[in-house]
Structure 1
């Protein structure tokens, strides 16, 4: 996520580190490189120029040249300005109304239908809502089928009228259906187009006027950069939407849309899509995103994701096993499954401070655990519960059965042994005190 931009900003700050003395001249030189990095990320020229001017003025105004760590202060100023550029604070959802009506808009191919499903799943699992998805794309039968497939995958009902070619009446009928059947959120998926045109704008404006949604969201493909911002402006001029959804942030995103869209349309980014799975949706926090762009990670989001997968009862059982030295490969496998549920490995690594920079030349695949899982599944139940019995003969059989090399089995055994010892140590007084200290410093941890 924003790897290219992060790398270029890091190089810009290296200009300061190369000088024994910080001067107004090399601060200006650093800001020039920052502006170049923003332009390469497809940020509007005026926005990039105004951004670096504000940072430079603040740096000089705060006597950055005379501080003990001027480079760090300048990074902080850039981080603060990035946060403001992307909206400052996280924007909430207006879930008033009986039911709450959410209108989804955007171009064809932006990921609008898929994200409608992700939003329905988010509101169902995280907010305890009973959502209804509504298929209002009257031009593409495949779009209606796609929404039904998405709805089935998350256990959410989809309302559609395949023979009806009037999106306004479909939406109105769907709201009546929702009221009669206890749905408290209605998400209306409208038709997309290959380009902005008057027919499309008039149609969605008519739907908007008829159903008067509490939330009108514009879904944009973040990989399209500045073009996405221009499209957002055209939609906003007609719909006056409430917020932006950025999809495909897990791809090779330059960052132009995320960094420019708030300045252009003055509407907040509310959610981001970070993968193909239905749970790959995050609330957009400008401050956390600024941290990630600057390679500082996002520990708070990482902890929140871990807590979502945290089962207190299972944790207690695991703790007892560790204390009795009964931690086995089945338990190890269960931990891997929990980590996988937290999201893509590349996304998780990006949340660890410094990890993105350290691993920027390493290709992180989502199936990173594939060989480990294959090795464990090739073990017998007794081998998984008592790893100490695995001798060379067993290792040879396990390697053959899992399609791996004996070296990979040995490496896994060594890693497992080291992890077991570390977990055993964490059970002691010192380890428990360390966990207690970590918990007090990380928001949301108990």
Structure 2
């Protein structure tokens, strides 16, 4: 997400590294590159100009502390200005029950999928959600929302024989209250472009259901056009927030930086994938950190808390400390991490790992690793020493992969177990403390990061 903008900003600020102090000359040159990076990422020209002016003003006369470099200083200034541009503080939904949420947007922006994501998010926060199908034009729109609701055990209301959106909204609202729902989400129709009938329809529906939140679901790939859409909807309907969808795709990120400044509407949610769990509450400081390659540890921890059982994690940690970790444990950990999202997306949240490329090749290796382990019997997973030649041949056939891939995986696993054993006991702890003080590496340890073979195990 936002890789292009992150890379461009990184290149723009690289020229300041090694400079002894901030001067007007080196600062001006770097800020020109930052401005180009913003414009190339589809940030609105006025937003980019005002942003650079504010950063330049902050840099004027700024003394560089002894503990930081000029590059670090200007990165901090840019980070603070990005947070200000995106909107400081958390932008969560209004905290009340019942909560009525009206979803708006153009056709294809992902409103219906977002309705399901939002319903699950609200349920995690103690609400009983219901979704109301108010899109009576798009073929199968009602069926899509109903399927999402059924698959995720969410209350659903729709009227297939009616075209009166205002009446459907009122009936759905009354029905949801009777069912005990206290978070009602209205999924409206979209158009390929904003037109008078569309605006009138959502205005009438808003008057009927009196929503607490009116959220525009905007496709981040629209770039500057998304900014114009947000501004038009806000002027016509009065938005309370924006949800940026499809941030996992090939988007340049300019919409996220421009919307708050131009439309004066806060961004509240980010859609980061196709799964109903791929939704993040928008935090300006966290996104600013990701854009500048600083990672987002807080969001990473939150994802882990939502998907990984704490007792199970403690049990695994204890097994690793005793060097008793086996393939069954590894498979369990792989599947838990998969629930958190793609490996590439997780790497972007880790400080210093934003530039590490995790493409289809690496993801494919992980799938191959999972296939090989799943082709083993439970006894073989728990006792890898049983894997003789005939068993390995059977496992490779079952996974549809060559035996050499399985051999490489087993070799990596053995090396990892060796490392675990080396780290056991008081002598190892003493050596680790010694290394931490000196900054030295572990002697005679396998370099897990550069191993060949399947590649999945060391990365995990």
Rate the CA distance shift 1:108–1:420 in 2: closer, same or farther, 3 A: same
Q: Tell which deviates more after alignment, 258-267 or 368-377.
A: 368-377
**In 2: Cα distance, 1:275 partner to 1:118 partner:** 10
- Mark the runs of 5 or more structure 1 residues left unpaired by the alignment: 435-446
For 1:113, the equivalent position in structure 2 comes to: 112
Rate the CA distance shift 1:321–1:37 in 2: closer, same or farther, 3 A: closer
Rate the CA distance shift 1:46–1:148 in 2: closer, same or farther, 3 A: same
1:414 aligns with 2:379: no
Give the total of aligned pairs: 430
Note if contact 1:322-1:424 (Cα within 8 Å) is conserved in structure 2: no
**In 1: Cα distance, 2:283 partner to 2:309 partner:** 26
Q: CA deviation at 1:68?
A: 5.2
Note if contact 2:21-2:70 (Cα within 8 Å) is conserved in structure 1: no
SS in 1 for 2:280: strand
SS in 1 for 2:184: strand
**In 1: Cα distance, 2:38 partner to 2:21 partner:** 26
For 1:338, the equivalent position in structure 2 comes to: 336
Note if contact 1:326-1:385 (Cα within 8 Å) is conserved in structure 2: no
Show the 5 A alignment for 1:57-96: 57-64=57-64, 69-96=69-96
Note if contact 1:24-1:65 (Cα within 8 Å) is conserved in structure 2: no
Rate the CA distance shift 1:127–1:425 in 2: closer, same or farther, 3 A: farther
SS in 2 for 1:357: coil
Q: Supply the RMSD in Å over aligned alpha carbons.
A: 2.3
**In 2: Cα distance, 1:428 partner to 1:270 partner:** 49
Note if contact 1:120-1:131 (Cα within 8 Å) is conserved in structure 2: yes
SS in 1 for 2:133: strand
Rate the CA distance shift 1:293–1:323 in 2: closer, same or farther, 3 A: closer
Q: CA deviation at 1:326?
A: 3.8
1:34 aligns with 2:31: no
Show the 5 A alignment for 1:304-323: 304-319=302-317, 321-322=319-320
SS in 2 for 1:37: helix
1:295 aligns with 2:289: no
Rate the CA distance shift 1:325–1:398 in 2: closer, same or farther, 3 A: same
**In 1: Cα distance, 2:329 partner to 2:102 partner:** 44
Rate the CA distance shift 1:417–1:187 in 2: closer, same or farther, 3 A: same
- Mark the runs of 5 or more structure 2 residues left unpaired by the alignment: 433-460
For 1:153, the equivalent position in structure 2 comes to: 151
SS in 2 for 1:6: helix
Q: Tell which deviates more after alignment, 28-37 or 381-390.
A: 381-390
Rate the CA distance shift 1:394–1:150 in 2: closer, same or farther, 3 A: same
Rate the CA distance shift 1:267–1:410 in 2: closer, same or farther, 3 A: same
Q: Tell which deviates more after alignment, 304-313 or 230-239.
A: 304-313
SS in 1 for 2:355: helix
Show the 5 A alignment for 1:389-408: 389-408=386-405
Q: Give me the TM-score of the superposition, normalised by structure 1.
A: 0.91
Q: Deviations over 1:335-375 (max 9, x none)?
A: 00100001122211111122221327x54665552101111
Show the 5 A alignment for 1:28-427: 28-64=28-64, 69-97=69-97, 99-124=98-123, 126-319=124-317, 321-322=319-320, 325-359=323-357, 362-363=359-360, 366-422=363-419
Rate the CA distance shift 1:129–1:72 in 2: closer, same or farther, 3 A: same
Note if contact 1:216-1:243 (Cα within 8 Å) is conserved in structure 2: yes
Q: Tell which deviates more after alignment, 104-113 or 140-149.
A: 140-149
Q: CA deviation at 1:84?
A: 1.0
**In 2: Cα distance, 1:20 partner to 1:235 partner:** 49
SS in 1 for 2:215: strand
Q: CA deviation at 1:376?
A: 0.7
Q: CA deviation at 1:324?
A: 5.5
Rate the CA distance shift 1:401–1:139 in 2: closer, same or farther, 3 A: closer
**In 1: Cα distance, 2:146 partner to 2:152 partner:** 10
SS in 2 for 1:235: helix
SS in 2 for 1:356: coil
**In 2: Cα distance, 1:34 partner to 1:80 partner:** 15
For 1:8, the equivalent position in structure 2 comes to: 8
Rate the CA distance shift 1:21–1:127 in 2: closer, same or farther, 3 A: closer
Q: Give me the TM-score of the superposition, normalised by structure 2.
A: 0.88
Note if contact 1:425-1:431 (Cα within 8 Å) is conserved in structure 2: no
Structure 1's consecutive aligned runs of 4 or more residues displaced over 6 angstroms after TM superposition are 429-432
Q: CA deviation at 1:67?
A: 8.0
